[in-house]
Structure 1
């Protein structure tokens, strides 16, 4: 076996366990676990958001285009559903309520999705209760995702702030420990 076959691969890393440009992805030459905090993965990007490697910009552009295409396709599906209501001759009130319901749910879903990229939810139980509302307004979520992909990986700013804070805490803890206390020399006492 060659050295490359014997060395275990780490998530998002190369054969020697290092990630290009990532301070947290570095491991010992023995392939052991990395020291310090590891960046959290973002869906479709993994940990490439840390150093913008692995065709990061191309992924962002592709995901923005894909989210917009999915939103357009969803609008066509909703249009066919609305035409079905018109064919059923349900009346103007029901048609108006359906339009208002999808518009309001899409606006709320867009806002909640956008806020989710900027900060963690204060009350996870409340977010769970809004899940069905966000499912109805999925077009708003798709539009928020596409708009966020134009500037960064969705959630990158939040993850970067948390990751940098974790690195700072780790370096502070690591700096306060100055080695093995048992190995220190005791000062000689004057006679």
Structure 2
């Protein structure tokens, strides 16, 4: 879009100058001022993530029953339960901490398999976070406010006509 297309009829830009907020999944940029059905979206996200976690537990229960019917032994059944419990706990912690700090991309890539196995923990972290805010809102808000403050500082730093500036007598 050209600069001329980005102008309204009175000649001013449509959007304010400076940094723009980063959109969040399911929320867009409504997290900035909590408008546009923000509360309804949070409720929907909470219900959806809890329903997905419950469905995932049901599927795991069917898989566990399949192992029990196959009569492969109690050790393998116990191993499967412990593996899903540990992976879910680690996925919960990793997802929860990802809402307050940016995760390292290399670490994220190395944990992809573990996070896939512990997807129930990630869904539960998403559910619990959505009870208080949009998941990731705190991190994005801090980054946006910091960028906004830096932009405002840059813009106001050079105000006035420099040729009229008083010179010090030394």
Same fold flag (TM > 0.5): yes
Which residue number in structure 2 is paired with residue 105 of structure 1? 87
| CA apart distance, 1:30 | 3.6
Q: Does 1:171 align with 2:157?
A: no
Aligned partner of 1:160 among 136, 141, 165:
141
Unaligned runs of 5+ in 2: none
- Greater relative contact order, per chain length (Cα 8 Å cut-off, separation 6+): 2
Q: Distance in 2 between matches of 1:35 and 1:101?
A: 50
Q: Distance in 2 between matches of 1:155 and 1:140?
A: 16
Unaligned runs of 5+ in 1: 1-6, 10-15, 17-27
The 5 A counterparts of 1:8-87 are: 29-31=11-13, 34-87=16-69
Q: How many residues align?
A: 162
Taking structure 1 as the reference length, what is the TM-score of the superposition? Answer: 0.78
| CA apart distance, 1:29 | 4.5
| CA apart distance, 1:83 | 0.6
Q: Deviations over 1:16-51 (max 9, x none)?
A: 6xxxxxxxxxxx944466411101111100100000
The residue matched to 2:32 in structure 1 has which SS? coil
Q: Distance in 1 between matches of 2:50 and 2:63?
A: 20
Aligned partner of 1:130 among 111, 129, 132:
111
